[in-house]
Structure 1
Amino acid sequence: MTEPPAQRLALPALIAMVVGSMVGAGIFSLPQTFGRVTGGVGALIAWAIAGGGMLMLALVFQTLARRKPGLDAGVYAYAKAGFGNYPGFLSALGYWAVCCLGNVSYWVLIQSTLGAYYPVLGDGSTVTAVAISSVGLWTVHFLILRGVKQAAALNTIVTVAKIIPIILFLLFALYGFDAAIFYDNLDGGPGLDNAPILEQVRGTMLVTVFVFVGIEGASVYSRYARRRADVGLATILGFAGVLSLLVLVTMLSYGVLLRPDLAALRNPSMAGVLEAVVGRWGAVFVSVGLIISVLGAYLAWSLLAAEVLFSAARMESMPAFLARENRNRVPSAALWLTNGLVQAFLIAMIFAEEAFILAVKLTSSMILLPYLLTAAYALKLAWLEPDPTETARARRGDFIRATLATIYAAGLIYAGGLKFLLLSLLIYAPGTILFAIAQRERGHRIFTTTEAILFAILIAGAALAFAALQTGAIRL
Structure 2
Amino acid sequence: MEKDDKKLNVVSLVGIIVSAIIGAGIFNLPKEMASSASAGVTILSWLIAGLGMGSLAFCMQNLSNKKPDLHAGIFSFAQEGFGDFMGFNSVWGYWVSVIIGNVAFGTLMFSAIGYFFPAFGNGENILSIIGASLILWLIHYIICKGLDNATFLNNLVMVAKLIPIIIFIVCVIGGFNKGIFFHRFWSMNTDNFYLPDVVHQLKNTMLVTVWVFIGIEGAVVFSGRAKKRSDVGKATLLGFAAVTVIYMSITVFSYGIMTQAEIQSLPNPAMAYILERVIGKPGAIIVNLGVIISIFGAWIANTLLAEEVSYQAGERKLFPVIFTKENKNQVPVNALLITNIIVQILLLSFLITDEAYSLLSQLSSATILLPYTCVALYQLKLTHTEKSSDSTKNYIIGIIATVYMFWLIYASGFIYTILTILTLLPGAIMFIYVKKYYKQKVFKPYEIFIFIVIAVLFVYGMTQLPVLMKM
Q: Smaller-chain TM-score range?
A: over 0.9
TM-score by length of 1: 0.96
Aligned partner of 1:71 in structure 2 is 70
Q: Is the 8 A contact 2:184 2:190 kept in 1?
A: no
Distance 1:38 1:286 in 2: 23
1:202-232, Cα deviation, whole Å (9 max, x unpaired) = 1100000001111110011111111110100
Q: Is the 8 A contact 1:465 1:474 kept in 2?
A: no
Aligned partner of 1:336 in structure 2 is 337
Aligned partner of 2:81 in structure 1 is 82
- Could you say what secondary structure the match of 1:46 adopts? helix
Aligned partner of 2:120 in structure 1 is 121
**CA displacement at 1:246 relative to structure 2:** 0.2
**CA displacement at 1:191 relative to structure 2:** 8.0
Structure 2: where are the runs of 5+ without partners? none
Aligned partner of 2:428 in structure 1 is 432
Aligned partner of 1:9 in structure 2 is 8
Query: What is the identity, as a one-letter code, of the residue corresponding to 2:97?
Result: V
Distance 1:171 1:289 in 2: 15
Distance 2:429 2:122 in 1: 34
Aligned length: 469
Query: What is the identity, as a one-letter code, of the residue corresponding to 1:447?
Result: F
Q: Is the 8 A contact 2:120 2:128 kept in 1?
A: yes
Distance 1:115 1:210 in 2: 23
**CA displacement at 1:475 relative to structure 2:** 4.5
Distance 1:282 1:465 in 2: 45
Aligned partner of 1:456 in structure 2 is 452
Q: 1:463 to 1:475 in 2, by over 3 A?
A: farther
Q: How does 1:4-403 map to 2 (within 5 A)?
A: 4-190=3-189, 196-387=197-388, 391=389, 394-403=390-399
Q: Is the 8 A contact 1:98 1:364 kept in 2?
A: yes
Corresponding position: 1:467 with 2:463? yes
Distance 1:440 1:305 in 2: 25
TM-score by length of 2: 0.97
Q: Which moved more, 1:432-441 or 1:226-235?
A: 432-441
Query: What is the identity, as a one-letter code, of the residue corresponding to 2:294?
Result: S
Query: What is the identity, as a one-letter code, of the residue corresponding to 1:384?
Result: T
Distance 2:373 2:469 in 1: 25
Distance 2:293 2:361 in 1: 19
Q: Which moved more, 1:276-285 or 1:443-452?
A: 443-452
- Could you say what secondary structure the match of 1:473 adopts? helix
**CA displacement at 1:142 relative to structure 2:** 1.3
Query: What is the identity, as a one-letter code, of the residue corresponding to 1:244?
Result: V
Q: 1:475 to 1:91 in 2, by over 3 A?
A: farther
Structure 1: where are the runs of 5+ without partners? none
- Name which of 416, 423, 426 aligns with 1:420: 416
1:115-140, Cα deviation, whole Å (9 max, x unpaired) = 23434323222122112111111111
Distance 1:473 1:442 in 2: 38
Distance 2:122 2:416 in 1: 22
**CA displacement at 1:23 relative to structure 2:** 0.4
C-alpha RMSD over aligned residues: 1.5
**CA displacement at 1:34 relative to structure 2:** 1.2
- Could you say what secondary structure the match of 2:292 adopts? helix
**Identity among equivalent pairs (%):** 37
Distance 2:47 2:326 in 1: 43
**CA displacement at 1:6 relative to structure 2:** 2.5
Distance 2:155 2:467 in 1: 44
1:95-134, Cα deviation, whole Å (9 max, x unpaired) = 1111101111111101112223434323222122112111
Distance 1:354 1:280 in 2: 26
Q: Which moved more, 1:397-406 or 1:431-440?
A: 431-440
1:256-283, Cα deviation, whole Å (9 max, x unpaired) = 0011001101111001110110111211
1:411-438, Cα deviation, whole Å (9 max, x unpaired) = 1000101210110122211122321221
Q: Is the 8 A contact 1:158 1:296 kept in 2?
A: yes
Query: What is the identity, as a one-letter code, of the residue corresponding to 2:85?
Result: Y
Q: Is the 8 A contact 1:120 1:126 kept in 2?
A: no
Q: Is the 8 A contact 2:98 2:302 kept in 1?
A: yes
Q: 1:312 to 1:473 in 2, by over 3 A?
A: closer
1:311-353, Cα deviation, whole Å (9 max, x unpaired) = 0111111111111101111001100110011112111332124
Distance 1:185 1:154 in 2: 44
- Could you say what secondary structure the match of 2:295 adopts? helix
Distance 1:407 1:90 in 2: 20
1:371-392, Cα deviation, whole Å (9 max, x unpaired) = 00011001100011233xxx3x
Corresponding position: 1:446 with 2:445? no
Distance 2:439 2:346 in 1: 33
Query: What is the identity, as a one-letter code, of the residue corresponding to 1:113?
Result: A
Q: Which moved more, 1:346-355 or 1:19-28?
A: 346-355
- Could you say what secondary structure the match of 2:442 adopts? coil
Q: 1:255 to 1:245 in 2, by over 3 A?
A: same
Query: What is the identity, as a one-letter code, of the residue corresponding to 2:159?
Result: V
Distance 1:8 1:91 in 2: 26
Query: What is the identity, as a one-letter code, of the residue corresponding to 1:214?
Result: G
Q: Is the 8 A contact 1:16 1:159 kept in 2?
A: yes
Distance 1:114 1:101 in 2: 21
1:413-470, Cα deviation, whole Å (9 max, x unpaired) = 001012101101222111223212211111012222322222222222223333322x
Q: Which moved more, 1:213-222 or 1:450-459?
A: 450-459
**CA displacement at 1:185 relative to structure 2:** 4.3
**CA displacement at 1:473 relative to structure 2:** 3.4
Q: Which moved more, 1:54-63 or 1:455-464?
A: 455-464
- Could you say what secondary structure the match of 1:472 adopts? helix
